[in-house]
Amino acid sequence: MDDVRVIRIDRGDVGQRLDLVLQRHLHDVTAASRTRIQKWIESGLVTVNETPATRPSRRTTHGDLVSITLPAGARRAVMAAEELPLSVIFEDEHLLAINKPAGMVVHPTYRHPHGTLMNALLWHARDWPAGSRPSLVGRLDRFTSGVLIVAKSRATHAALQRALGSARSSKHYLAVVYGRVNAARGTLDARLSRSRRERRTVISDAASASPSQTVFERLHRVRAPRVGLALLCCRLLTGRTHQIRVHLAARGWPIVGDSKYGKPLWAEIQDRSLSAALQAFPRQALHSWRVSFEHPIAHTTVVCEATPPEDFQRLLIDANLR
């Protein structure tokens, strides 16, 4: 039997694309990938205010009543609370900040139904007051470590989205990159969009893509003959998927260990021990180091910092980037 969901758009979803809103609200539906949701919309399975919606790009407004008829095959997955290690940086009655380890998926998927950050958060929230439930405000790639903000209610989630999207907030990342970074600082400005060939890949310089900006500062660099290496601090001015990874790769500074957007440039480094250390690094060398924002309830400034994990620090030592 088909499953019918009805969603009333609140202020946190105002102005967002319909497909993205549904993806967030259908987080418990295993089959609800963005591509699948777009197909459901285009097939007439979604109505807005009782009128069929056929464009995934349609923008939502406050008070819209969205109804979606989920096909019988789109079975709901029940997220289980799992007692997993959780590094809490900050917590109060409204929100918390987590230091996510590299390798941990943030949300259950078909390939990773257990052992995710959300499973750990549900265990952490087992004694929260009725009506409270953890929800992620932003995402980190599986192999990116560092600060991630979590809301404890829908109202706080919407308020945090606004706070983290304002000019008063900041998100800083540390990245180890290949290349000769001669500029001490600068801004990377390139339009980004999903690749038509591979929807999980983001490409730059597409004419119809979304504008995006990343500010960088060079913290350290070494010659690493024939290639060059540097440690950068990157601040997001926009929050596109894979933004830092794509921006740096497009500039000619791919992140060490990035198998999707980088290249195995370790093979060109003449120092054998350094080359071996870079080859052995198991993931993209990207760490969400610092997030600051105005608390949506207390209206105080919250600053959350996460010390880079052991593998990242070892890489900095081996590459003489400290």
Could you give the CA distance from residue 175 to residue 289 in angstroms, rounded to a whole number? Answer: 10
Beta bridge partners of 185: 217
Tokens of 123: 């265990």
In this structure, what are the phi and psi dihedrals at residue 265, rounded to the nearest 5 degrees?
A: -75, -10
Q: Is 64 a catalytic residue?
A: no
Q: Are 145 and 100 in contact (CB under 8 A)?
A: yes
Percentage of the chain with pLDDT > 90? 60
* Percentages of the chain per state (helix, strand, coil), in multiples of 5: 20, 30, 50
- State the virtual CA torsion across 223, 312, 254, 272 in degrees, nearest 10: 50
Tokens of 61: 């407004």
pLDDT in tens, 165-190: 899 999 999 999 999 999 999 999 98
User: What's the confidence (pLDDT) of residue 83?
Assistant: 95
Could you give the CA distance from residue 280 to residue 196 in angstroms, rounded to a whole number? Answer: 32
Between 11 and 209, the higher pLDDT residue? 209
The one catalytic residue in 141, 189, 205, 258 is: 141
Does the pLDDT value for residue 214 go beyond 90?
yes
pTM more than 0.85: no
pLDDT in tens, 267-299: 999 999 999 999 999 999 999 999 999 999 999
Could you give the CA distance from residue 257 to residue 53 in angstroms, rounded to a whole number? Answer: 42
Q: Are 163 and 291 in contact (CB under 8 A)?
A: no
pLDDT in tens, 244-271: 999 999 999 999 999 999 989 999 999 9
Ordered structural domains, the chain, with CATH: 3-70 (3.10.290.10), 88-164 (3.30.2350.10), 170-318 (3.30.2350.10)
Q: Who's near 192: CB < 8 A, 6+ residues apart? A: 202, 203, 204, 206, 209, 210, 212, 240, 241, 242, 243, 246
Nearest to 166 by CA among 298, 292, 289, 60: 292
